[in-house]
Amino acid sequence: MTGCKFGTHRVLEPHGVLPQPAWRIDNSMELYDNEILIDVKTLNIDSASFTQIKQQAKEDEQKIQEIMLDIVAKRGKHHNPVTGSGGMLIGTVKRIGSELQGKTDLQIGDKIATLVSLSLTPLKIDKIKKIKIDTDQVDIEGQAILFESGIYAKLPKDMPEKLALSVLDVAGAPAQVARLVQSNQSVLVIGASGKSGLLCLHEAKKRVGITGRVVALSHSQRGAAEIARLALADEIIVCDATDAVTMMNEVARVTNNEMVDVTINCVNVPNTEMGSILSTKDNGLIYFFSMATSFTAAALGAEGIGRDVQMIIGNGYCNNHAAIALQVLRENQALRQLYQERYA
């Protein structure tokens, strides 16, 4: 039996939508001919989603487990109903549908990371084995389905699985920086000391060249110290990105009131839209990678202060994004060591 390549055959409610916006999907592991069955090893929960779950559970691991299992039981996927976001997974290919055999480079036993969101991926969790509160990673026993249209990356052989997972989870961010940032520009990275922010700083420094300028904004002195140690920014600001006016003033201070050409927003908390807009020049560009972003707040906020900026939704996919993100760690051994310590 063949299903829709986009997975609409799995949608239970409401009818007529694709799996990602659907409220509930079929997570039975009976394979359609154009699907791939994965034995799941680790879930990498989207940062905004995991932050919300931790806050709801008050950092209690048992309650985190209960919340995650409840989400999957009700929705057939790990689609956080508060943040609307999911994450990604690593696992081993267990079965390949008959229609995909010979049409994919995958073989049974290959270790892969799915590059589509858990918010659209049929998932069954049999057991949660370990929750890593500081890294957003959850080891499980379970299975998942990859649709025919689903993208993936084979895990690289030159780095540990958990390290590769941490990078592939946010691969869209540095890849979009590579696409959007040009030589001689000024670039602000908000949430710069986080998983995606550090990769973006490296890519931004590479793209702006010696005549450009990279400004890093971290919410903590500890994060700022790590950025300074890695020499990833020309200027480092420590402030709360939800305090829009303070953030604007700090960016003005380090840019001689010129503000920045490009802002990359990587934070995992709400209410940072206005700070991003106020820190960006007229006719500048803002890339909202964070799933905590309210695009209504961003659009109406820019209109409300008369700021003419181009704002881009954080599409987590662009061509070659996995290769670009993994290459960052190959180019920057100090950054790789930090990621190894944090995530692997």
Model confidence at 319: pLDDT above 90: no
pLDDT for 87 equals 92
List phi, psi (to 5°) of 5: -60, -25
Q: What is the pTM of this model?
A: 0.84
> What domains appear along the chain, each with residue ranges and CATH number?
8-155 (no CATH), 172-343 (3.40.50.720)
Percent of the chain topping pLDDT 70: 100
- Is the distance from CB of 189 to CB of 339 less than 8 angstroms? no
User: What is the reported pLDDT for 237?
Assistant: 98
How much is the average pLDDT of 221-243?
Answer: 97
The pLDDT, as a whole number, for residue 269 is 87
| Residue 139 banded pLDDT, cuts 50, 70, 90 | very high
Predicted local distance difference test score (pLDDT) of residue 23:
97
Q: Is the pLDDT of residue 316 over 80?
A: no
Q: Please check the confidence at residue 344 and state whether its pLDDT lies above 80.
A: no
> What is d(CA 110, CA 99) in angstroms, rounded to the nearest whole number?
18
Mean pLDDT of 97-105: 91
Q: Above 90 in pLDDT, residue 196?
A: yes
- According to the model, what pLDDT value does residue 54 have? 95
Strand extents, DSSP E, the chain? 11-13, 24-25, 35-45, 87-96, 111-114, 123-132, 137-147, 152-154, 186-190, 213-218, 235-238, 260-265, 280-288, 310-313
Quick one: average pLDDT of 280-307? 93
What pLDDT sits at residue 96?
Answer: 96
Region 41-48: what's the mean pLDDT? Answer: 92
List b or e across 270-296, with b for residues whose CB sees 16 or more CB atoms inside 10 angstroms.
ebbbbbbbbbbbeebbbbbbbbbbeee
Pairing of strands 213-218, 87-96: unpaired
Q: How far apart are CA 231 and CA 184, in angstroms?
A: 18
* pLDDT value, residue 315: 78
In degrees and rounded to multiples of 5, residue 260 shows phi and psi of -115, 155
